Structure 1
Amino acid sequence: MITSQTLGQGPGEPRRCFVVGPIGDPHAAHGSPEREAYEHHLGIFEQVIAPACEKYGISAVRADGIAHAGDINEQICRYVVDSELVIADVSGGNPNVMYELGLRHITGKPTIHVGEAGQLPFDIASIRTIRYQRTRSHLAGARKEIESALEAGLRDGFELLTPARVLRGLQTGDEPATVSEVGYDRKGEDENSPGLLDDFAVIEDGLDDMAADMEAITKTIETIGALTEQCGTEMLDLTQANAPMGARLAAVARYAETISAPAGELNVVAAAFAERMATLDSGVRAALGLIEMTPLDERGEGVEDFLEQLMSLDEAAQDGLAQIGDFGNSAGAMVRISRHLRKPVKEISVAVKELTSAISRMGEWAARARELAHGPTA
């Protein structure tokens, strides 16, 4: 059991609560879903969470309230891990929130869940959550429930959640605590529903899928390159033979038709690659943050493999990026040759843009992985 001392940084020093939850977009147009989400969750923070914390002298801050300059993803990971208390709004099961919450659970530090009624993600529904509805009376009730939870935790200590107990049991070689021992409510539990470690395993599966995407992208680029070379040879022969423009235009039209299918395939695979990157990015960063906080002698066997996977994937991606960049430059020149090339070249250009952005993030993963595996380079 965690004692109330966990929340104190020292005599006379302020206590801190990091609030994890959806943020929304404050710059979105009025009436848009993104703006409504921002207003709603800001209201929950200002009307429910912050006042409850203030009652006990605890300073509450959201990610958009971090004042220090620096990498926001790294700052969030540190706040999630280091803060004496975390209150997480799990409404809707936002992927970033769930990964940040998973990272927090492993630390074993005090965490309180809140969420809008009817919007709780199924795989953590068994953990006690303070529920609220969008009415003044219900929000006031939720604030009082948070106050009661804080009062009880400060007085009696905050109980470890199941993930922390399981991991600590594994680390010490003891049998992990049973579900009933940690007060886990089994009502409505699905034995096949994913848990925290399953979620982190999904990251590795996603990285394998990204490697397969890169292989498909490379093969498609090679196919288009070979077709382009054939067309170039044919155009050279036609030029040397002083063939009429009609014959040259017909050759270009045939070339445009032959690359249409691989160009479309490249666009589809690139979109899937970029979408997978967006889904995995926060999870990979959270996993790297957790590894950084874990002493070398306490890391599991799979950590080195995970770091090596990130580095290997980046090496393959950088090779592909070089090909993609050269290809993108040549594709831009093709458009001026004939209107027949506009559609396939547009698809190729969109794919190049998506891949370049995604691969740059992969480089950031690999850089952190190298530091964690080998230490910072001079």
Structure 2
Amino acid sequence: MITTLAARDEQDRDVTCFVIGPIGNSYAPHGSPERAAYEHHLRVFEQVIAPACARYGMTPLRADRIAHAGDVNEQICRHVIQSDLVIADVTGGNPNVMYELGLRHITGKPTIHIGEHGQLPFDIASIRTIHYERSRSGLADARETIENALEVGLRDGFESLTPARVLRGIQPADGTPAAPGDTAEQDEEAPGLLDEFAAIEDGLEQVTEDMDTITKAIETIAALTEQHGAEIAGLAQAHVPMSARLAGLARYAESISSPADELKDTAHAFARRMTSLDSGVRAALSLVEITPPEEWGEGTDEFLRQLVDLEATAQESMAGLDGMGSAADGLLSLSRHVRKPVKNISAAVKQVVSVMACVEEWAGKARTLLERATG
């Protein structure tokens, strides 16, 4: 499908352009990573994106330059969805950027990707992206490439990206018809919206399996800890030599090594899977949010309820994990024998905790949407 902005021009209305990308912190101390990120991406905006857009009469807008009062997150979502054009700096795969980009993709509207060479996220590496380098000449080349992309797109139309073709049931807001010959029959194997939900659900099922494995590993470690703890306590009360106590700790460490390894590996897989799913789930939830409940279709309710159920499973896993992390930290100084398994347990706890907030956010949004549909 080719999306054109010609209809906008004929209405004598300026083409709106919103820029999504890492912002950084303008108030961070000089020399800090946050301040360096702010200065770099501001330079890209002012020296690359803004002049390229200005050549075609467009004034690009960044999130930190929205002047109107109101809820910032809502304003950003509206600009992402409603703007005629979005230019996305995907450098580093910033989570907020990836979420906003996923939301933009489902609209089917024109989007131009740019990114620093060597810093592109794997998830969208196959999508045509304008690369830039931090040198003066590198930024100048990127500006020229964006200008060329704008010239071709404004004149001939912007080609829809794969996510927009997948969600081909969503039409551009300006009502532009598909290009001649661009029919569903030509792409019979392309997945539809329900296929996308199913793919996410498969991922969520794997996440649930990861949580079950984590819970079982915790239960195994807890049982072994209780068993060997009683033995070690008995040795201490019997006032046996320290070498005998160390031998008891060594036996305990050996018994928990395998479940601790499994816990660490599963937690790592779980965290990676959650990170990979996050942008897709958020984009799917945003799609459901902007679609009237009567148009949700088969599978949407089930998808939302799966997110709610996932939170309950997560809370059950976390209940044992929190206690396990505290207990593990207390064992680190006892003996070198227990350090490796205990460090594996501690690493697993940190990885799971770092991504568990996603589950709570998904479930909260899903509950809100379900209540809206039934209310």
TM-score in terms of structure 1 length? 0.72
- Are 1:374 and 2:375 counterparts? no
Which residue is equivalent to 2:339?
A: 342
Label 1:137 to 1:312 Cα distance change in 2 as closer, same or farther (>3 A): closer
Q: Does 1:145 align with 2:142?
A: no
1:142 corresponds to which letter in structure 2?
Answer: T
Aligned to 2:260: 263
1:95-110 equivalence runs, <5 A: 100-109=100-109
Q: How does 1:355-366 map to 2 (within 5 A)?
A: 355-366=352-363
Match of 1:272 in 2: 269
- Unaligned ranges ≥5, structure 1: 172-176
Q: Equivalents in 1 of 2:194, 2:49: separation in Å?
A: 29
For residues 336 and 224 of structure 2, the distance between their equivalents in structure 1, rounded to whole angstroms, comes to 18
Q: Note the 1:315-330 alignment, pairs <5 A.
A: 315-330=312-327
1:174 is matched with which residue?
none
Identity of aligned residues (%): 50
Q: Deviations over 1:90-115 (max 9, x none)?
A: 68988876664443243243x14255
Return the alpha-carbon distance in structure 2 between the equivalents of residues 90 and 136 of structure 1: 15
- Per the alignment, residue 53 of structure 2 pairs with 53
Q: Which residue of 2 aligns with 1:86?
A: 86
Q: 1:82 is aligned with what amino acid?
A: Q
Displacement of 1:279 in angstroms is: 2.3
Shift of 1:87: 2.6
CA contact (8 A) 1:22 1:89 kept: yes
| Paired residues of 2:48 and 2:139 also in contact (CA < 8 A) | no
Q: Cα distance 1:152–1:263, how it changes in 2: closer, same or farther (>3 A)?
A: same
Tell me, in whole angstroms, the C-alpha distance in 1 between the residues paired with 2:233 and 2:89. Answer: 64
Counterpart residue number, 1:212:
209
Shift of residue 306, structure 1, vs aligned partner: 1.7
Q: CA deviation at 1:78?
A: 3.8
For residues 194 and 22 of structure 1, the distance between their equivalents in structure 2, rounded to whole angstroms, comes to 31
2:303 to 284, 302, 306: 306
Check conservation: 1:162, 1:179, Cα contact below 8 A: no
* 1:296-318 alpha-carbon deviations (Å, 9 max, x no partner): 11113222222122111111111
1:284 maps to which residue?
Answer: 281
- Cα distance in 2, alignment partners of residues 183 and 131 from structure 1: 32
Task: Give aligned pairs, total.
Answer: 356
User: For residues 340 and 245 of structure 1, what CA distance do their matches in structure 2 show?
Assistant: 14
For residue 17 of structure 2, what is the amino acid of its counterpart?
Answer: C
- Per-residue Cα deviation, 1:211-248 (whole angstroms, up to 9, x for no partner): 12111111111111111111123234435555444333
Cα distance, 1:309–1:271 mapped onto 2, change above 3 Å: same
TM-score where L is the length of structure 2: 0.72
Shift of 1:160: 6.9
Deviation at 1:203, TM superposition (A): 3.2
Equivalence for 1:113: 112
Q: Which amino acid aligns with 2:301?
A: E
Q: Does structure 1 residue 351 correspond to structure 2 residue 348? A: yes
Judge conservation of contact 2:106–2:283 (CA < 8 Å) in 1.
no
- Aligned in 2, Cα 1:203/1:6: closer, same or farther, shift over 3 Å? farther
Q: Residue 60 and residue 336 in structure 1: after superposition, are their counterparts in 2 closer, same or farther (change >3 A)?
A: same
Write the letter of the residue equivalent to 2:148: E
Retained in 2: the 8 A contact 1:7–1:84?
no
SS in structure 2 at match of 1:301: coil
Change (3 A) 1:205 1:48: same
Instruction: Say what the alpha-carbon RMSD is for the aligned residues.
Output: 4.8
Give deviations 1:139-181, integer Å, cap 9, x for gaps.
Answer: 453354355357548xxx878777657756589xxxxx98862
What is the SS of the residue equivalent to 2:59?
Answer: strand
Residues 149 and 280 from structure 1, CA distance in 2 versus in 1: closer, same or farther, beyond 3 angstroms? same
Note the C-alpha offset of 1:15. Answer: 6.1
- Alignment-derived partner of residue 174 in structure 2: none
- Taking a change above 3 Å as real, the CA distance of residues 307 and 193 of structure 1, as seen in their structure-2 partners, is closer
Q: Deviations over 1:271-319 (max 9, x none)?
A: 2222222222222222212211111111132222221221111111111
In structure 2, the CA distance between the partners of 1:253 and 1:130, relative to structure 1 (3 Å rule), is closer
Structure 2 unpaired stretches of 5+: 172-176
2:218 aligned to 202, 217, 221, which one? Answer: 221
Assess, with a 3 A threshold, how the Cα gap between structure 1 residues 223 and 130 changes in structure 2: closer, same or farther. Answer: closer
